[in-house]
């Protein structure tokens, strides 16, 4: 048994229940006399509804009620709010309403038309399908290109040219000056493919209303139940917090898609009161594909100005981001503040300018998805840097080293608002090169060629921003909420601890990591600690889990709360041991009087706090429970190097990932096993984006990849064992020195994959590759290069 200390690879406590099928997910819950809801989704992308006939459906067996958009409106239910106001060059973003159920216009495949509530799910579904919706088809814009085309139809009247905002950051004049001095300018145009999050557990929600007390309860698949309650109280359901309980029990993955406030959460809770019975809704997989917020979907141009020696003099980026049909909760910030500042990367480029235009299209809304903005930035920048190396005839590593921020430069102020507190990009680069056996690569390439296969090696040196977010900074940039975190440490009378957090664990292993921190602080065994989260009736408040914030922000709140407990414990101990508080030390679970063997164990102090017979009651309250809020001082900046080695079969175009070596700096590590797991999962997702996954729409706005038959999810068997290395430079501004690890795998690796594919194909004359690098696409690129007759030698 490992000691419950920081830095120990302790096995995840929660896995016992998950691996034995004892997890309790929303769909596992059954409320007494529960009804089932089915929501009719639009099959077309853009249409005006001319009539809805529910008369036949209403007569069908088991039907309890059918709700239309006008019923929702009549009850003054609000529309789904957007949580971030981006102000662009010409003013605030266009912010159209996002109704729970549409009333007149359908704006994407999957848009919600009506909800049937029935005794069984099958009855609800059958009745929904018996509702007759008449509509007139309207013209569709299903891509950024279509949205920008001359004379394109508008998704929203109030957004001419489908433009949501036109925003910029950086010093235009300084950037232009850098380009004016350039020895060479390298340009790249790339698309960041749209992704469907596909959490293993589909979304679900149960609403319940107690007519005796007037209390509402919502069970939902959420990463942040308090945020959902706040939004429902303030904007949508208009039931105040003290009458509304939101519970997010075990949640089977989110990756961002379960941050957002979805219509179903409001509809089931509202309907429960209307029908006088609990209402349950569980998403089907096809519905997930078209109603869970998607990720990515950018089209960008990047330019770098280089000196003769290969120094980056300036960079300039122009990005078009697809918002989908509505603005999801954080969408406007994902394409701006979580994206553009990261285009500085690990480099000391003195001047950078970024322009972002966001567009509406008739597609499912896009929002934060593992990495949220930072993968898009890393992909653009690291592809550009690689291309610059090729065009400058420089080594890929050399150009990076030459331009990298060095350790003596921290804290480093970037030209794009961020101040990196610490890091060591050279160290992680060296580690990853060693792990992949960089020196042996040419021999491996030759060996593969002997077998008719093409090997490539690709790099990505990245930095990202986590620990979202300093509230004042976020507020000044348009955030409409605070982004602190809260924790409560309740020491029970016999010395065990119940920890309540506002962060929510849905795969991250908080129940272990957080218990480990508390165990380490108090010197008590792990099994004496229980972690409670996900229930607004239990936890005071919190903003939830996303943006790799749970440990840097939530963990900091835990540390603050445990420190308060220890401080109070010292006062109790001083009284019991008849010593001065200043002389009390706390170590390894014991309060001792400095320089003596007089001691009280943690459990004895807890007992005294609740059985205060010998207690300083005049100066100290009984009980031992402390709460802390933590608002971070800055973002945290994890970073590192990801290297991918691929082998391509030129006859089929199949890209096989043969080796992946990464070295990340995520700050101090509490549990290395969990950190490795997070990085490996992120890598699988990142390589998935690069090679397999694509949410592809046709011109009519139909999602062509709306099932697992043609949307390729990464599988364990697709990958080699990842070599995961760490090099920690502790964060300088939070108490644990942690930076966050949830997203860096997915952020760093996609450009390494594509750079590797291009490296493999370079000698054949292939010069560009988009994600996902599917076999057919790679094969076609090879055929086209052959037809053109270009080759490295010919140039």
Partner 1 sequence: MENFVFHTPKTVADAVSTRKGTSGGKFLAGGQSLIPVLKLDLAQPTDLVSLAGLKKELSYIKVEGDELVIGALTTHADVAGSDVVKKIIPSLAVLASGIGDAQVRNRGTIGGSVAHADPAADYPAAILALDATIKTDRRTIKADDFFKAMFETALEDGELITEVRFKKPEKAGYLKFNNPASKYAIVGVYVAKYGPNVRVGVTGAATVAFRLPDFEAALAKSFDPKVLDGIKVSEEDLVNERDAKADYRAQMVTVFAKRAVEAAH
Q: Which residues bind partner 1 (CB under 8 A)?
A: 122, 651-652, 692, 696, 704, 708-713, 774-776, 779-780
Cβ atoms of 190 and 773 closer than 8 Å: no
- Sheet of strand 132-137: strand arrangement: 105-106, 47-53, 132-137
Cβ atoms of 736 and 517 closer than 8 Å: yes
CA distance 608 to 614: 7
In the complex, minimum distance from the CB of residue 776 to partner 1, in angstroms, rounded to a whole number: 5
Q: Which is nearer to partner 1, 439 or 451 (CB)?
A: 451
Q: Which is nearer to partner 1, 410 or 779 (CB)?
A: 779
Residue 161's Cβ-count burial label (10 Å; 0-12, 13-18, 19+) is middle
Q: Which is nearer to partner 1, 395 or 651 (CB)?
A: 651
In the complex, minimum distance from the CB of residue 782 to partner 1, in angstroms, rounded to a whole number: 11
Helical packing angle, 396-403 and 374-391, nearest 10°: 120
In the complex, minimum distance from the CB of residue 690 to partner 1, in angstroms, rounded to a whole number: 13
Please name which of 665, 206, 249 lies closest in space to residue 431, comparing C-alpha atoms. 665
Cα torsion 44, 47, 53, 59: sign: positive
Helical packing angle, 602-610 and 556-576, nearest 10°: 80
CA distance 605 to 599: 10
Beta strands, E only, 211-338: 215-220, 244-247, 279-282, 298-306, 312-324
In the complex, minimum distance from the CB of residue 695 to partner 1, in angstroms, rounded to a whole number: 13
In the complex, minimum distance from the CB of residue 781 to partner 1, in angstroms, rounded to a whole number: 12
Q: Which is nearer to partner 1, 4 or 781 (CB)?
A: 781
Q: Which is nearer to partner 1, 624 or 687 (CB)?
A: 687
Cβ atoms of 237 and 274 closer than 8 Å: no
Q: What's the longest Cα–Cα distance across the chain?
A: 91
Helix (H, G, I), strand (E, B) or coil at 660: strand
In the complex, minimum distance from the CB of residue 774 to partner 1, in angstroms, rounded to a whole number: 7
Q: Which is nearer to partner 1, 349 or 774 (CB)?
A: 774
Please report where in the chains the tokens 């002389």 appear, as a residue. Answer: 583
Q: Which is nearer to partner 1, 419 or 707 (CB)?
A: 707
In the complex, minimum distance from the CB of residue 709 to partner 1, in angstroms, rounded to a whole number: 5
In the complex, minimum distance from the CB of residue 783 to partner 1, in angstroms, rounded to a whole number: 9
Quick one: how many helices (H) and strands (E) in the chain?
A: 21, 30
In the complex, minimum distance from the CB of residue 134 to partner 1, in angstroms, rounded to a whole number: 22
Task: Specify the length of the chain in residues.
Answer: 795
CA distance 183 to 181: 7
In the complex, minimum distance from the CB of residue 750 to partner 1, in angstroms, rounded to a whole number: 17
Q: Which residues contact 675 (CB under 8 A, 6 or more apart)?
A: 666, 669, 726, 741
Q: Which is nearer to partner 1, 286 or 410 (CB)?
A: 286
In the complex, minimum distance from the CB of residue 478 to partner 1, in angstroms, rounded to a whole number: 39
Q: Which is nearer to partner 1, 18 or 708 (CB)?
A: 708
CA distance 169 to 153: 29
The pair of three-digit structure tokens given for residue 486, joined into one six-digit string: 């809260």
The pair of three-digit structure tokens given for residue 27, joined into one six-digit string: 């769909």
Q: Which is nearer to partner 1, 496 or 712 (CB)?
A: 712
Q: Which is nearer to partner 1, 503 or 774 (CB)?
A: 774
């Amino acid at each position: 048994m490992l000691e419950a200390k920081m830095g120990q690879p302790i096995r995840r406590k929660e896995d016992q229940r998950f691996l034995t099928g004892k997890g309790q997910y929303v769909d596992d819950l059954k409320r007494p006399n529960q009804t089932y809801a089915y929501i009719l989704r639009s099959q077309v992308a853009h249409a005006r509804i001319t009539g809805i006939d529910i008369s036949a459906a209403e007569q069908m067996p088991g039907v309890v009620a059918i709700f239309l958009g006008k019923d929702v409106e009549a009850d003054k239910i609000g529309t789904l709010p957007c949580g971030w106001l981006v102000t662009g060059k010409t003013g605030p973003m266009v912010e159209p309403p996002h109704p729970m159920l549409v009333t007149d216009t359908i704006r994407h495949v999957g848009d919600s038309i009506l909800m049937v509530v029935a005794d069984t799910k099958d009855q609800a579904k059958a009745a929904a399908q018996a509702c007759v919706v008449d509509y007139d088809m309207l013209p569709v814009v299903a891509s950024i290109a279509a949205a920008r085309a001359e004379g394109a139809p508008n998704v929203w009247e109030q957004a001419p040219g489908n433009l949501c905002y036109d925003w910029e950051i950086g010093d235009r004049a300084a950037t232009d000056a850098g380009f004016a001095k350039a020895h060479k300018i390298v340009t790249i145009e790339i698309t960041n493919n749209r992704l469907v999050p596909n959490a293993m557990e589909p979304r679900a929600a149960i609403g319940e209303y107690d007519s005796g007390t007037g209390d509402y309860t919502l069970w939902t698949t959420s990463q942040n139940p308090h945020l959902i309650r706040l939004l429902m109280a303030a904007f949508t359901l208009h039931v105040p917090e003290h009458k509304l309980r939101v519970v997010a029990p075990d949640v089977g993955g989110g990756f961002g898609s379960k941050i957002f406030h979805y219509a179903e959460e409001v509809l089931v809770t509202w309907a429960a009161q209307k029908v006088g019975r609990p209402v349950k809704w569980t998403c089907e997989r096809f519905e997930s594909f078209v109603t869970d917020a998607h990720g990515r979907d950018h089209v960008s141009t990047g330019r770098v100005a280089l000196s003769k020696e290969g120094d980056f003099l300036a960079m300039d980026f122009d990005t078009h981001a697809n918002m989908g049909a509505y603005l999801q909760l954080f969408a406007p910030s994902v394409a701006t503040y979580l994206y553009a500042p990261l285009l500085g990367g690990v480099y000391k480029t003195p001047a950078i300018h970024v322009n972002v235009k966001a567009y509406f299209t008739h597609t499912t809304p896009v929002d934060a998805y593992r990495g949220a903005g930072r993968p898009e930035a890393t992909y653009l920048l690291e592809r550009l840097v690689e291309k610059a190396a090729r065009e400058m005839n420089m080594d890929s590593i050399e150009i990076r080293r030459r331009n990298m921020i060095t350790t003596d430069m921290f804290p480093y102020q970037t030209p794009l608002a961020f101040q990196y507190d610490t890091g060591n990009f050279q160290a992680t680069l060296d580690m990853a090169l060693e792990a992949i056996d960089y020196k042996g690569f040419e021999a491996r390439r030759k060996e593969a060629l002997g077998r008719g296969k093409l090997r490539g090696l690709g790099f990505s040196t990245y930095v990202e921003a986590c620990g979202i977010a300093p509230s004042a900074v976020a507020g000044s940039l348009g955030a409409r909420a605070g982004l602190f975190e809260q924790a409560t440490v309740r020491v029970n009378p016999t010395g065990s601890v119940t920890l309540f957090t506002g962060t929510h664990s849905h795969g991250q292993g908080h129940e272990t990591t957080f218990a480990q921190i508390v165990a380490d602080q108090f010197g008590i065994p792990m099994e004496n600690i229980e972690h409670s989260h996900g229930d607004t009736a239990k936890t005071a408040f919190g903003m939830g889990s996303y943006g790799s914030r749970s440990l840097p922000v939530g963990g900091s709140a835990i540390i603050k709360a445990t420190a308060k407990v220890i401080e109070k414990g010292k006062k109790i101990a001083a009284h019991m041991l008849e010593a001065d508080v200043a002389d009390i030390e706390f170590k390894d679970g014991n309060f001792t009087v400095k320089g003596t063997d007089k001691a009280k164990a943690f459990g004895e102090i807890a007992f005294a706090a609740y059985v205060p017979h010998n207690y300083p009651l005049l100066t100290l309250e009984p009980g031992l429970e402390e709460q802390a809020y933590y608002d971070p001082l800055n973002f945290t900046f994890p970073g590192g190097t990801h290297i991918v080695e691929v082998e391509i079969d030129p006859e089929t175009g199949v890209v096989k990932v043969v080796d992946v070596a990464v070295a990340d700096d995520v700050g101090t590590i509490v549990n290395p096993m969990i950190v490795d797991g997070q990085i490996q999962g992120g890598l699988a997702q990142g390589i998935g984006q690069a090679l397999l996954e694509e949410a592809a729409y046709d011109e009519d706005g139909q999602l062509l990849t709306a099932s697992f038959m043609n949307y390729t999810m990464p599988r364990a068997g697709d990958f080699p064992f990842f070599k995961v290395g760490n090099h920690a430079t502790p964060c300088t501004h939070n108490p644990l020195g942690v930076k966050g690890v949830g997203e860096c795998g997915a952020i760093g690796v996609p450009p390494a994959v594509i750079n590797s594919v291009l490296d493999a194909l370079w000698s054949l004359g292939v010069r560009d590759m988009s994600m996902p690098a599917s076999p057919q696409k790679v094969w076609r690129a090879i055929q086209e290069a052959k037809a053109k007759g270009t080759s490295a030698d010919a140039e």
